Amino acid sequence: MFDFSNQMVLYQDFVSGTVEQIENIDKLRVSAMGASWPAKLYSSVNATHLKVGASVAVIGRHGSTLLVSPL
């Protein structure tokens, strides 16, 4: 069972995902682990290269929002 408490959790190993939608760097939609998730960039470094369809590393979560980094 998932624990979606409002704490930040960083994963030991990243999971790959794909950007589905970009509203801004704090409001993305990412497909990962067989589902579509709200997401935001963990760091704004390389944010200008992020496009729909781009691969990202899911490095953690904050509540139910995935924290991602461009690959």
If pLDDT is split at 50, 70 and 90, which confidence band does 7 have? confident
Closest residue by Cα to residue 54 from 16, 19, 21, 26: 19
The secondary structure of residue 5, as a DSSP letter, is: -
Residues 21-56 have pLDDT tens digits of 999 878 999 999 999 999 999 887 666 778 999 999
Show me where the domains of the chain are located.
8-62
If pLDDT is split at 50, 70 and 90, which confidence band does 1 have? very low
Q: 15 is written with which tokens?
A: 């999971």
Out of 4-8, 49-53, 66-70, the most confident range is 66-70
- The CB-side HSE value for 2 (13 A sphere, CA atoms) comes to 12
